[in-house]
Every structure is written in structure tokens, then in C-alpha cells.
Structure 1
Amino acid sequence: MVLPAAGTALAQDPPKELDRVTVTGSLIPQTEIETATPVMVISAEDIKARGFTSVADVLAKSSFATGGVQGAQTSASFTQGAKTVSLFGLPPGYVKYLIDGRPMSNYPALYNGSDTFNNISGIPVDLVDRIEILPGGQSSLYGSDAIAGVINVILKKKLDGGVFTIRGGGYSEGGGSNFRASFADGWTSADGRVSVIGGVQYEEKNAIWGYQRDLTKQYNQNGLTPPLASRDTLVAGYFDSYHFLDPANCSNLTGLFGGTTGLQQRPGFGDEYYCGSFYTPGYRTLANDEKSTQGYLHGTFDINDNLQLYGDVLYSHEETKYHVGSNYTWWGTSADFGYFWDDALGDLVNLQKAFAPEEVGSRGFRDNMGKDTSDSLRVTFGAKGTFGASAWDYDFGATYTEYKLKENSFVVYADAADQFFTDRVLGPQLGLDPLYDTYPVFSPNYAAFYQPLTPDEFASFTGRITSHSKTSDSMLRFQVTNATLFTLPGGDAGLAVVGELGKQKWNYDPAPELLNGEIWGLTSVAGGGDRDRYAVTSELRLPIFNPLTVTVSGRYDSYDASGRTIDKPTYSIGLEYRPIDTLLLRGKYGTAFRAPTLSDLYQGESGYYSSVIDYYQCAQRGYLPGNTDACPRAYSERQFFGTQSGNLDLKPINADVWSAGLVWSPIDRMSLTVDYFNWDIDDEVTQQSANALSLQDYSCRAGIDDINSPLCQQTLSQVTRNAAGNITEIYTPKINISNQKLEAVTAAFNYGYDFGRFGDLSLRTSFTENLHHTYQQYAEDEVIDLLTNAYWSSDPKRKADGSLTWSLADFSATWYVNWFSETPNYAATNSPLGYGAANARKLGSYATNNVSASYKLFEGMEVSLMVNNVFNRMPPYDFSYLGSSGAPYNSYNFDVYGRAYYLELRYAFGK
């Protein structure tokens, strides 16, 4: 059943008997479409008419998705080939993703290198029947992760005949040409007992490169400072800054980066000159090169009137290619030597060499793009039916999902690169420096340093490595349901009880070269583990009397990880009150949680460098905590080596969530919904504070706390001091410490009118506003207002979208608008002062428009034309970006893709 626009069912004159359906947000089949849980439904027709190109595109454009996330424009993220969304500005991992009501497997790599999440790029959009979005906490029904909301993607289950679709398109600004083809067919046996539907979708997209867009092909031409060319071939000294030592004045390098490299100058930096280009930012991808294939099969077999067997398989294969750009494709001496000493210059020196496309090979950077290959598999089979002649239904099923990821990376081998440049430029080591007796001494051949490399030379110290990762989730699920348990004055009470048993696994196995230091400028972290889980869920729906229905649900989840049990009960209560047939008042209160993810528990150790106040050493000199400003810098900014990792002792993240709203539908095909949501989230996972550990270390050593207490013994084991008593290392694992509070309001208005021979008009709109959003990372920190503190968040406060569709006979057209409110500029987001910083201000609201038109040429054949971002809107001009920026816009909020166009042909073969 394709659900109508929110609220329309309330206004129609119902028949005496309505079929009961299962709506996302409830386990009990019922006749009411609108319940205590708000649901936004996006049908397959909506997806096509609004010009959405993928499931990820659908969700990113939703008015609920107010938070920015890393995407293809990042080009150097930890999860370059994956796509996700942030509902209401909450972390991506706070969304529970379902396919046909069952959980998706997690993506093997970690979002931003630390958090587990779901990738939604591998779902075949042509085979989607509808997408249902439930905002708010839903853990009492769906378990862990359902804090921000639940997204249920429902695939097609019935087809009357074969359907073939072919689609092609591109961008008016260049790049990104794409092609998609799909075929689906269904078959039902003559007696109706066997039903099968299957489909396949293939898609490929070409990358968009920075040089294909005016805003990203070069360094910022209209910034707060003049544009600065990249320092592609640079000799930099410690005492005298830049040294320019090329007798040819960069003439040997002028053919690099498309012939744009030349002699450049930065006044105030030593000799001031170096070799570089203004156009290096253009040599990275802004949209990935992608190829994907998905296959889907679903079937049912009716054994008898009381028993049906069912099964489905969904498989996805994706290949994603991208390039991080010359900023990440370089070599230098700093990583290995720190500096080296040059007697002729009388200075500590570093070399810096960025590799150009012409040095890589005949196809430039296309020859050394990173490539992520993923394969996901989802298999479900089971049986459902009725216990004899009773009102009790059952559904017993097994689901197995797995996700495999192979990351093939182009790398520079550290030893080979060092040896190449030692032989070519540095020459033999001549001892140690005369100042510190620490740094190596060389007498370089600088003329050789200013020479371009041949592709063969470049290939001599570069290559490819492969990292593997995998997640899997197996689940047995049993549900019994009685939709007519007993009769109350308002109707039949319903009950559902669910039991689940499963096992989850995660393993991240980087290439060994990344772990043992063989790769120049890159490292990684291994990790892996598994856990068993089980859960029991119940839901009871009580129509107390005709206007009032109460729904209560409860769930108990338990996880067994490394011999430790992590468990969590959750519950909710929902109220529906219908004072009149056309008005629904609703409210819901419940608890939600997120269990510690496998990466939170089992992520391996990784290192970092930072600084901290050594409170103990400062106190020894009379500067007590709270009065350390005058403490000597050696102690007030103590450099240390940090180690971070997962933590097997983590607790669940907890949340209290409630909502209240109304649905009003005074006339047929018109509805208004308004809902308020409130979240109180505690025990969020973050890295332990090094500052807090140093402070606790002081309290223990100073006798404020008992040094023999478990707290002090644990602290002293995490803070390492040398023989002089100074901090040298701090261990900062993940802990439960942070909290968020969020309030939001959502609204939707839908209207339709039949003009007879002049056609039919349909309007659908939705709106979200975050009213209040605060965050506190550590208990000793001040509370951050994420709606006003631009340094912490650049998310818009309000977001809306809407579509207007006109249909007449065989023709239909849709105009779609997506809008969000003001966002901070670069100056505001780049300073702890936020809007108090110089040049900080807000950028104006932003909107894009899509237009589509479809025409049925003849029976079964339909042609569609779609133009997205029809006015070719680019990111708003932000004068506060510096001239050193190669992408002067916030890629979390905007993109530079511009106008896109698609032509689609759809042919239905009939029954």
C-alpha cells in the first residue's frame, strides 16, 4: 500500500470496513494511517517527479536533514565512497536505517575515522516503492541507534509486468555525465500462490574535477587577501624562512599543472620566491567517479491459507574513484628529518615537493585515483501466517547482512622516496648539525630539486596498497501479533510481541604497510570484534474510547561483548485524541539509546601530538588550577604524545525524547501537520579529556584525592611522567561524558484539487526549525549553543522543501524547491569567537529549484525530462575566505555542481 500524503486519510469518507495495514512506527496492523508517531512518506512517484537521483539524494533533501555531513566534495574523507545524512543536526550514527523493516548492516569504515554509521548509496532507487522517515526516538520498537529517528526504505513487492528504464544526463558546467538503466519484472502463478519480483539496476557517473568549476579551479580570486599560489617546489629554512635556489627561475617546471607553474612570490618570507601555481586546487575530484550494480529478488509461496513462505535477496556492488589533489600528493623532508642542516645556508632547512599530473603519467591524476570497492549482501527468508482459526498472526524470519569494503590507495613509499631524493638532491649525509647535534647535514644539489620528474621516476617510489574491512549482522526474529486482542469502547485492542537473537561483527584490516610505517605521510588503525545480542519487544494499542487511543511499547536489549553484558530497557507511551473526524491531536514520550558500537569498543590504538596544562608542575611553582596564566610555558603548554583507542567499559548513550503535535484535514486532499520534538541526550561517547586527566593527576599527587583510590590509580596509569616529573604521554580512550539537548518543530501542508478537464493540481510542503540545540563535551566545559556558536556548528536553523505538480491526461509537470536559512560565513566558523570575530557574519538563505515533465507517448511508453538546480545556483559569495583557499565555500552546506539535466525513458511491457 502506498501511503497518501500526511493527514489525507482523516478527511475522506471511509468505508465501513478498512483494511488493516502495518505502518512504520508500529508493529500492529491498523486502519489509521496517522498515529502518535509522525511519519513522512516519500513515494516512488515523488522521487521521480522531484528529480532525486538516489536514495541518498532523497534523504539529504528532506527538511529533517538540517545537519551537514562529509561527502564527495571532501575528496579526502575516511569514507569517501559512502553517503549518509544527519537528522536535526544530530550525529549520522543516531539514525536507524531499515530496509523492509529490518536493520541495514553498518559500513565497514568509520565516519570521520571514529564513528560507526550506515551507507545509503547502495540501494537501487528504481526499485524503491517508498521511503518512510520517522523523526524522534524510536528505540522502544527498533532498538539501538534510533535516537534521531528511523528511516525505512521499502522495496517493490508487486509488479504487473516488466518495466525497463533508461536514463542519462550531465551538468551544464561540465563533468559528471551519468547513465542508469534498470529492469524489473514480476510473475504470479495462475493459482496466485506463488509470486516473484526481481530487478537489476546499473549506474555509472563520471567524476567532476575542481578545474571544471570557476570557483574551484584556482585559488580564491575574490578573497579577503590576494590569491596565493601553491608552494609546489619550496626550500624553507627555520631561521631565514624561504630560500630560493633555482638558477633557472622555475623555467624547467613551467609545463606542470597544465602549464600554469611559474616563479611565485610571498613578500615577507625570506627570499620570498618559490615555484608554484595558482591552479593546483583544480586537480582534485569534487564528485566521485562511480559504477554500481544492484540486484533484487523477492518471492512468496502460499503453502495454505494460514502459512506463507517468503524470501528476498538484495546485492550491491559499487566502485568509487576519487583524487585527493596535490595537497595530499607530495613529499618532504620534515616527516623524516624534522629539518636538515645546510652549511652553505647556515640554516636548518626543509624541502617540499608537490607532484604534478604531468609527472604521474599520460592521463595525469586519473592514473593515481583512489578506488573503493564495496559489496553488500542482504538475505532474508521466513514464514508468516495465522495460528489456525485464531486472531494470532506470526512471522518468523532470518536475516543475514554483510558489507565488504576494499580500499585501494595510491601511495608514496617512504624509504623509496627518501632514497630517490637523497640520490637526486641531498647527497650523502655529512654528520650532524653544529647547533643541536641532532639534525643530519647535507649539501644538496638544489638545481636537481627544481627539475620535473618523469613518470618512470615517479613510479619508482610509488605504488598501490589495499586495505580490507567487513561488517556482518545475522538475526533471527519472531513476532506474534493480535490486532483484535479484545474490544474496548474505541475499537479493537492490539498486541505485538517480538523476540530477536543475533550476532554482529566488525573488522578493519589496513594494509600492513600503513601500520609499519612504510608509507610516507599516511598511517591507519586496525580494529575488530564481535558481540551476541538479543532483544524482546512488545507493543500494546488500546482504543480507550472513540476519540482516545493509547499505545505503549517496551523493549529490552542485551549485548554480550568480550564477556561483558551491556543491556538497556526502553519504553514509550503515545496518545492519539480525535475530538472530531478531521482533527488528530497526538503526543509521545519515550526513551532511546545507542549501544556502544563495535568500533567504540574494539578500535585499536592510534597516536597523536597535543599540548596540555601540567597542573601539578604549575602548582609546584605556585600557580594553582584556575590561575595558571602566568605559569611558565614549558608547563602551561606541555607537549605530550597521546594515545587513543576504543574502550570495552563504555555504557550506552541514553536519551529521553518526547513529541506533541496535530494533524488537521478539514477537506478532502488537504492536511496540515505540526509536531514539536524534544531530546535530552546523555552519556555520549567522546575521547577522554587530556586536560581533565592532568587536573585529576594533580588532585591525586597533591593529596586532594586519595592517591591509593581506584580513581587515582587509574589516572596515574594513564598519565606518564619522565624522570624530571614532566608529562610525556597521556592515554585518552573513548568515554561516556558528553550531552546534547535539542528542541525542534516540524510542519507539513498538503493540498490537492481536481480542475476537471484542466487537470489536477497537487501541493506538498514540509518545514523544520531547530528551536534549541546545546552541547557540552566535558563536565567542566561551558554549554555550547549550537544555533548561535558558529565555531561549533555551521548548520542552518531552518529548512524547507515543497513541490507543485500539475497533471493533465498523459502529461504531468513538477516544480520542486529546496530551501534552508542563513548560515555562518568562513570568518565566523574559523574562529573561537564565532560571530564576534572580525568579518564574521551570516550568509543569506539559499534555495535550489528542480523542474521535471513527463509525457506518455503511447501505452506503456513514458518519456521524462528533469532539470535540477534549474537556475544554476552556486554557493553564495563569501568574502571572508582568504586568497589561500581553493574551495571558498562550506561543502557541508553547498556544492558547486550547478545545473543538472536528465532524460529518462520508461517502458512497461504490461501484464
Structure 2
Amino acid sequence: MSSNHHGLRRSRLSRAVASAMLFGAAGAAFAQEPAAASAGGSDKPTDVAGVVVTGSRIKRTQIEGPSPVTVISSAQIQREGFVTVFDALSTLTQNGGTVQNELNSAGGFTPNGSPVNLRGLGPGRTLLLINGRRAADYPFPYNGQSNFQNFGNIPSAAVDRIEILSGGASAIYGSDAVAGVVNVVLKTNFDGDKLTVRGGTSTTGGGDFGNVQWVGGRSGDNWSVTYALEYFADEPVFAFQRDFMDSTDDNPRPTPELGNNQPTAAIRLNRPGNAANSYIAPPAGVCDRFDGEFVRFNYRTVVAGTRAVTNLGPACGSWGDVGYQTIANGNSDWSGYLYGTYTFGNGLQAWTSLQGYHSKSKLSGGTEAISGPHIDRTGRVTTWFDTGFNTNLNMQRLLTPQEYGGFDAMYQRFTEKSLDVAVGLRGTLADRFDWDVTLGRAEYRADRTRPRLDGSAVTDWFFGPRLNTTGTPRYRINLDRLYTPLTPAQYRAMSTTLKYEAESWVTQGSATLSGDLFELPAGPLGFAAVVDFTQQGYELNSPRSILPTVVETYGLTGTNGGGDRDRYAAGLEFSIPILPSLKASLAGRFDKYDDITAVDDAKTWGYGLEWRPIESLLVRGNYSTSFKAPDMHFVFNEGSGSFSTVLDTYRCLNANLAASSCTGTVYNYSVFATSKGEPTLTEETGESWGAGLVWDITDGLSMSVDYYDIKLDDAVTTLSSTYILDNEGGCRTGLTRTRQPFQFAADSAFCQEILSRVTRSGAPGEPTDRVTGVRSGPVNQSLRHVAGLDAALNWRFSTQRWGDYRWELGWTHTLKHERQLLATDPVERDWRDDPGNFDFRSRVRGSVNWQKNDWNATVFMTRYGSLPNWQETGRIAPYFLWNANLGKQITDKAKVTVFVNNVFNKFHPSDDGYDSYPYFYSAYSPIGREISAQFEYQFH
């Protein structure tokens, strides 16, 4: 085949991909063309001298390289019906891992964050770049444990395109680029002005939203400026606005022996042990006092082992308390962007970029519950000796929205501000080499407030003073106050507004030199050299009353921490033409770290091959090493706590039962776990490789297939309470939770470590001692290994009669997922198919776009692969969502579009065994069908 040794000749494939990128990059120019002129597929794209694509710092004319890069343009985001950048990223086929979201984290540590989890390797292992620069971390640690980056604060109005590199890229970008890199490229060289207004709602109830965008730009002979301003607002959506999750009676699988669902115990006072008739019946009429929220109900339970039904007695119940949490946050967000350039007479260009974000959000984690008196530094006491009844008691008392003073008084509120400023110079050296120098500073500040009961005030109001100083706590519960609704004033008197403050920052600078060193027989040897420095830090100040060493707030804990880290790095890249059809790339990087950990430096490298046996076919392969320095909160955590309901495995095994038979509060109860930072953590190290091909079948049809393989050693994870208690039970009994022989001896080093992490003390009236504390904390995990396939198909064609068409299809399938928690554990080689793994094994996204004259339409589909059912007996079916829109260019300057997202109003696939609220897996959105209309106007 013929070639140009200077690399300026590009295949049809390369031109097609460049065109796709340029359509997004030049959004203003294309948007201002008449509709017929911007039809995709038939016109030849404009050649470019060279562009920098995520995954390399060397400019190249061939967009496709040795590592696959997914590109989502701003036009595509709108075309497929999405309002926000995060909505679009959520549909990435590579984004198959589980994350906390607005549905499942309303009461958690990061309920207002929007993480991405590429390849299921964890949110902190995907690096977010803004125009190639690191973004500041979200100030609140993910699940109170580790740092991550928020993909929800990126203004879609300013986005030109998003480039996603899935795989290790530390040889180019340093730490954190383990599972991949998401580089958000913002608009430049925009000419004119464009106003976009969109508003809509959900057809099932709630979720009204509005979005206003203004994008514009001006340019002169030696200057340019691009600007964007966006406002987005939506209202919160509550679970009670969805009839499939507004009640505990929505549980599709009641306890078989009972035959029906039971309401949440709203006012329960009982003798512990689940003995027959252990509930102390409330006086007649008590349940009716709470504005219709509670009903009188006769409760029953099933005895573990015998499965006999026991009557517990009457109490007040609530069917609807689960519906008072939000399933979508309410937001009011402003964002702005400014980018300017000035070119001097000698070709030197100066530029500056400014991006700002201000958000106010609100959400509800539901109402609070009282489950016993509170003792400072101990927390809630779930069992006490009551002198009025002369017996041990435990209880539960739910609050109602009316006791707060309405939903507005229940909200947690967030105020978030971020600012990203960068300046730089770029030019050409000796007419051969491009250089640029960049300085930048990004800051992210977040404040959070939430109402919460004070432990001492709750105890004073409901229980009075403690009547002893040692032994089982003694109180006398005030029944009149227990059975009487609080007034909003009384709630405010026994509660406080907790205030959290957090900030993160990153200061960075870099200098890059790139170009062609000299000619080789097959073409020029390209290179890029970079030196950079980064100072990164965070500070988290939680209310003193929730810290695990204080425990003054009722039923709530938190975390504090702060620290910084300096990094200095240097890297080299080479693009090496071996033959006219064969090119190699080689990259190496050295990172030097300065912090309190033992992580001192890291050396990473990578190489790739590109072989073009014919003009339309690219065969490629890549290999790279990667690393991740321990997340700063894993290191600088000053102490954090968490509550979780877990199985007391030892208590279950000691009763000669298997885990499946251990139901009820005797064996399943809330456990308080604590953890602290571990400066002894080492860096995570990884390697990834891939191979595939890209085939430009015709001028309008191309496809790609790539295999990926990512292995991560010494990954940092936090030991869960479940893991610790399962192994504690094994060490103490010699049995697993399924009553199989346990692999470690009681006197082994493993068992001694596990046993030291569990604290137990006697609990009156219960069969064995109760867990009163678990010491968790981060450890270096031994192994994570994931491998699979990515495939894509793009097809564009034109017809004279029926218009122009664009088909896009992407598919990711996980072939292998292995993990090993500790070196002493066996490798779980079948983790991909494990019934406890709720990562999607496969995902598909696709769209069909049609355009004719002044009309255009798009149908978008995303498919979620099958998941294990909740009872771990099989798998539930794959799940499809469809979006559709129709647009009309009504004048040369104005256009209207109607959108319907989730056309068929689907919520989640059926799982008749899912007996835990919300009765479906939280990866599926409960919002349902959304309809909206958009108006666009171009100013020339």
C-alpha cells in the first residue's frame, strides 16, 4: 500500500473518526448550518494537521491508535436525550460497576456525589481530567472511606466532547489511571451565540426540571474568546411518589410461614428474645394519634431453626415510613465557563481558562427512629432494665414528617462550589517542536447540613436519668411521651442542625515538548516529553458530636480527616514507525511522591503496536503498567464510624444453625464499626493489555472489536463488618456460615488478627454475648482481575428520498472477574458469576438518528445485562431502556425538539424474591418516563 513518510496521509477510517470528533469539536459551526447541510455521512471530513487524543501527548493525524478511545460529543449527548454529562456517562458500556447513587445513599456519606465505576474496579480508580488537567476530588470521601471524583458538576453547556480511555494509563497520566481516564474537553473557538432552553417532568409524578444554556464566542485576527453559562434546576422525588416502593407491603416475598407482609414497627415496646406475647400492647387509640401515619397491628415472628410461628403481640406499625426518603435529589445549579486566547506576532499564544460551579441541593434520608436510651461515648443502648416494668426491654419509636414540621424540615442540604483556573503559553520551537506550559488551580468546597436528634436530649425526654452507674443500664421509660406525637417545637428542642465542611484542591503545573525528532526509513520518529508537579489535598470537618470517639448525636456517626500530597513527575513518549504499515509507541514515566506514607516513587511504562495491512484495517495491541497511590482518606482518616445490620455468624453457628436459618433480631442486628487511616498502606500496582482491530468497511461503515485485560495487585479496600464477623465465627467454631470446615486454625495469625477486631459484651436476656464493636479499616487487597470484550459499530448512509441515517452501537461483555481479599484467602476465580456480585456482566448502548430537510429524530437504547436474583438462586432477565426525540428546524435560527426518555416507562426487571427495601436493585432508576421540550436559537 502507498504511504506518506511524513504521516500526513490518513486512511478513510481515520478520516471518519476524525470527522466524528470534529462534528462535536466544531459544534457551533455545524449547529449554525441549515439542517440539510449538517446531515451526517455524505460529505468528506476536513483534514486536520494533528490532534492530541486521550492516551497520548503526541499529536497525530490518525485518530485511532493502539488503545481504544470512546468519544462522546456534545451533539451526541443532546441527540440521545441527556441533559447532564453524568447522565450520558452512566450509559457507557464500560461503566458496569456498582456505585452509590441518589437512590441508595440518601442517608450516607456522599449522597450528592455522582461517581463512575469503569470495569467494576471502583470509583477511585477512574481519573477525571478537564482539558487534560486533573480535577479536584469530591470533598466528601466515598462511603466515608476513600476519595473519588464527582462527574455531576461538569457543565454540559461547556462540553465539546468527552474522551474515555478504558484501561491503565499511568505511564501517561500517573496515579489513579488504573481502570481508565475520562477527559472532558471543553469548547474553544466558538463563533456566535446559541441559547437553549429545556423543561420537562416525569409522567409518574415529581421530577420537574428546567435547563437554560447560553454558549457563545467571538474572535479577531489574533484573539478569541468562548463562554458558556448554564442553569439547571429540578425538584426532589420521594419514594412515596412511586407506588411500587411507597410501602413495606410492596415486598414481593413475605416470610413464607407468615404469608403476608407486616408494617414497620413504629411504636414497639417489648421484652427481648422474641418470646411469645413479648410485645407490650400500647393503650387503645395510641396508634390513631399520629395523623394517620400508624396503624395497630398484631405482629408475629418465625423461630429460627424450627420455623414455628410465634405471636409477639400488638404494636403500632407504619406501612409508609419507607417512602419518606428521596430517590432523586433536588438541585439548583449554576455553572460558567470562559476560555480566551491571544496570539502574539511571533506565533506565541497565551490562553486562559476559567470554570465555575455553584450548586444548592436537598435530599431526605427518611425519618429518624429511637431504639433506646443514649449513653455518651457509647451510643444507643438497645436493651435496658426498666424499673417501671421490672424487666429488660427494648423498643422502637419512629418519627413522622409532621413531628419535624413537614418535609422541608427533614431535608439535608448541600452547598457546593468549585473553581478551576488555568493559564498557559504555547508555541513552536525551531519550526519543529510544539511546546506548552500550563499552570492550574482547582478547588472544590462543599457544606452539608442535616437535622438530627441529640442523644442526651432524647434520653432526657423519653427515659429520664439513668438510675445506676454500672452494669446493665437502668431507666424508667416515660410512656406518656412515648405514645404522644412530638410537636415541631419539641423536635427542634431535642435536635440540632449538624454542619459539615469539606474542601479539596489541586495545584498543578506542566511543561510539554513534542514533535518529530528525525526521519526513519518508514517515517518520522515522534516524541513527547513532559514534566509536571501536583500538590493535592483535602480537609474534612464533620460535627464533633458524630465522631466515633464522641458519639453524642443519636444514631449517627461520621469521619474527619485532612492532609496533602506532593508529586513530581517526568515522562517520555515515542511514536516509532517500523514499516510503512507498522508503528510502535513507547511511554515511560517516573513519579516521585512526598507524603506520610511509605509510597515514595513509582515507575510505569507502556507500549503499543498499530498495524495497517490494508488502508481500511487497523490491527492494534497495547500493554501498560499502572499504579495508584493510596487514597488520601485511607491515609489521613482521623477516625470514622459506620452502622450496618449484619449477621452475628458466631451466634448463629453456636446455635447449631446455618446462616440461612438465622433470621430475626437475635442473629441480625446493627453493629457499629470504626476505622482509622493507615499510613503503612502501599501503592496499588497493576498491568493491563489489550488487542483488537478497527475496520473501515466502507466510507460510511466501520466497526471495532477489542479485548481488554486489567490486573490489579495490592488494591486497597476496607474490611466489611460482614467479612470480619464471618471469619470471627469461623475462627471460634471451626465452621463457615454454611457449616463447612473453616480453613484457618483458631491459633493462626489470621484468626488472631480477626479476633482482635471484634469486641463483645454480655447482653441480658440474649443467648450469647453481643457484638458491641468492630474494628474495620483499610488493607491492601491482594488481587483484582477483570477481562472482557468491547465492540462498536458505526454506520452512516444517505438516501435522496428518505433522508440521512446514523447508526451507532456499542457493547461490552465481561469474560472474567477474579478477586482475592487477602493473601490468605483463596482466589475467587468465578467472581463474575458469583450470586453476590451485582456488577453487570454486559452492557449495550445504541442509537439510530434520522435527518431530512428540517426534521430530525433519534431513538436511543441501553441494555443492562442479567444480574443475580436477590435469593441467589438464579438470574433475572436483561433490562432495556429506550429514549426517543423529534426535532424541527422552524427557522434558520430556531429549532424545537420534543424528548421522551424511558419511552415505555420501565422501572426495574422483575425479581419476586427481592425482599429487602426498595425491593429492586438500586442500579435501576425508579424515575420512570420523562417528557421534555427544548427550544434552541442561534444568534449570528
- The letter of the residue matching 1:852 is N
Aligned to 2:392, the other structure's residue is in SS state: strand
**Alignment match, 2:408:** 366
Match of 1:211 among 221, 230, 240: 240
The correspondence of residues 420-439 of structure 1 with structure 2, limited to 5 A, is 420-422=461-463, 438-439=472-473
Q: Is the 8 A contact 1:95 1:150 kept in 2?
A: yes
**Alignment match, 1:798:** 842
Match of 1:185 among 203, 216, 221: 216
| CA deviation profile, 1:142-174 (whole Å, cap 9, x unmatched) | 111111111111111022111111110010001
The correspondence of residues 176-255 of structure 1 with structure 2, limited to 5 A, is 176-189=207-220, 192-221=221-250, 223-225=252-254, 226-239=260-273, 240=275, 242-255=278-291
- The letter of the residue matching 1:287 is A
Q: Is the 8 A contact 2:238 2:325 kept in 1?
A: yes
Distance 1:458 1:595, change over 3 A: same
**Alignment match, 2:685:** 654
Deviation, structure 1 residue 517: 2.5
Match of 1:22 among 47, 52, 76: 52
C-alpha distance in 2 between matches for 1:548 and 1:788: 39
Aligned to 2:529, the other structure's residue is in SS state: strand
C-alpha distance in 2 between matches for 1:532 and 1:103: 14
- The letter of the residue matching 2:169 is Q
| CA deviation profile, 1:845-887 (whole Å, cap 9, x unmatched) | 10000001111110111111111000101212211123xx441
Deviation, structure 1 residue 447: 4.2
| CA deviation profile, 1:524-569 (whole Å, cap 9, x unmatched) | 1211111111111111001112100000001111110038552111
Deviation, structure 1 residue 15: 10
C-alpha distance in 2 between matches for 1:194 and 1:880: 63
C-alpha distance in 1 between matches for 2:264 and 2:132: 51
- The letter of the residue matching 2:630 is P
C-alpha distance in 1 between matches for 2:586 and 2:86: 32
C-alpha distance in 1 between matches for 2:887 and 2:755: 69
Aligned to 2:141, the other structure's residue is in SS state: coil
More deviation in 763-772 or 209-218?
209-218
Distance 1:54 1:437, change over 3 A: closer
C-alpha distance in 2 between matches for 1:237 and 1:718: 30
Q: Are positions 1:545 and 2:576 aligned together? A: no
C-alpha distance in 2 between matches for 1:228 and 1:17: 68
Report how many aligned residue pairs link the two structures.
846
More deviation in 667-676 or 334-343?
334-343
**Alignment match, 1:154:** 185
Aligned to 1:562, the other structure's residue is in SS state: coil
**Alignment match, 1:392:** 433
| CA deviation profile, 1:807-850 (whole Å, cap 9, x unmatched) | 0111110010100221111112xxxxxxxxxxx22111100000
Match of 1:107 among 119, 126, 138: 138
Aligned to 1:459, the other structure's residue is in SS state: helix
- The letter of the residue matching 1:111 is Y
Deviation, structure 1 residue 428: 5.9
Aligned to 1:858, the other structure's residue is in SS state: coil
Distance 1:730 1:844, change over 3 A: closer
**Alignment match, 1:580:** 614
More deviation in 102-111 or 244-253?
244-253
Distance 1:262 1:317, change over 3 A: same
Deviation, structure 1 residue 730: 8.2
Aligned to 2:246, the other structure's residue is in SS state: coil
C-alpha distance in 1 between matches for 2:575 and 2:43: 24
**Alignment match, 2:4:** none
Aligned to 1:40, the other structure's residue is in SS state: strand
Aligned to 2:907, the other structure's residue is in SS state: coil
**Alignment match, 2:536:** 504
**Alignment match, 2:173:** 142
Q: Are positions 1:125 and 2:156 aligned together? A: yes
**Alignment match, 1:634:** none
**Alignment match, 2:6:** none
C-alpha distance in 1 between matches for 2:588 and 2:617: 28
Q: Please, what TM-score do these two structures have when normalized by structure 2? A: 0.84
Aligned to 1:827, the other structure's residue is in SS state: coil
C-alpha distance in 2 between matches for 1:690 and 1:414: 28
- The letter of the residue matching 1:49 is R
**Alignment match, 1:453:** 486
Deviation, structure 1 residue 221: 3.2
Aligned to 1:304, the other structure's residue is in SS state: coil
C-alpha distance in 2 between matches for 1:461 and 1:180: 40
Coordinate RMSD, CA, aligned = 3.4
Distance 1:202 1:354, change over 3 A: same
Q: Is the 8 A contact 2:372 2:381 kept in 1?
A: no
**Alignment match, 2:595:** 561
Deviation, structure 1 residue 64: 1.0
Deviation, structure 1 residue 90: 1.5
Aligned to 1:513, the other structure's residue is in SS state: helix
Match of 1:897 among 927, 932, 935: 927
Q: Is the 8 A contact 1:65 1:85 kept in 2?
A: yes
C-alpha distance in 2 between matches for 1:37 and 1:73: 35
C-alpha distance in 2 between matches for 1:428 and 1:36: 71
**Alignment match, 2:353:** 312
- The letter of the residue matching 2:359 is E
**Alignment match, 2:305:** none
Aligned to 2:145, the other structure's residue is in SS state: coil
C-alpha distance in 2 between matches for 1:265 and 1:716: 40
C-alpha distance in 1 between matches for 2:747 and 2:320: 60
**Alignment match, 1:663:** 694
Q: Is the 8 A contact 1:7 1:673 kept in 2?
A: no
- The letter of the residue matching 2:97 is G
Q: Is the 8 A contact 1:246 1:446 kept in 2?
A: no
C-alpha distance in 1 between matches for 2:853 and 2:673: 68
Q: Are positions 1:68 and 2:103 aligned together? A: no
Distance 1:13 1:83, change over 3 A: closer
- The letter of the residue matching 1:147 is V
Structure 1: unaligned runs, 5 residues or longer:
619-636, 706-710, 829-839
Q: Are positions 1:333 and 2:383 aligned together? A: no
**Alignment match, 1:815:** 859
Q: Is the 8 A contact 2:380 2:554 kept in 1?
A: no
**Alignment match, 1:632:** none
Match of 2:517 among 485, 489, 492: 485
The correspondence of residues 221-300 of structure 1 with structure 2, limited to 5 A, is 221=250, 223-225=252-254, 226-239=260-273, 240=275, 242-255=278-291, 259-268=292-301, 271-300=312-341
Aligned to 1:419, the other structure's residue is in SS state: helix
Distance 1:162 1:253, change over 3 A: same
Deviation, structure 1 residue 212: 0.7
Q: Is the 8 A contact 1:6 1:750 kept in 2?
A: no
C-alpha distance in 1 between matches for 2:899 and 2:582: 45
Aligned to 1:73, the other structure's residue is in SS state: coil
Distance 1:704 1:670, change over 3 A: closer
Distance 1:5 1:280, change over 3 A: farther
| CA deviation profile, 1:496-542 (whole Å, cap 9, x unmatched) | 00000121111111112223332111121211111111111111001
Q: Please, what TM-score do these two structures have when normalized by structure 1? A: 0.87
Aligned to 1:661, the other structure's residue is in SS state: strand
Distance 1:180 1:605, change over 3 A: same
Deviation, structure 1 residue 227: 2.0
Deviation, structure 1 residue 274: 0.7
C-alpha distance in 1 between matches for 2:370 and 2:938: 53
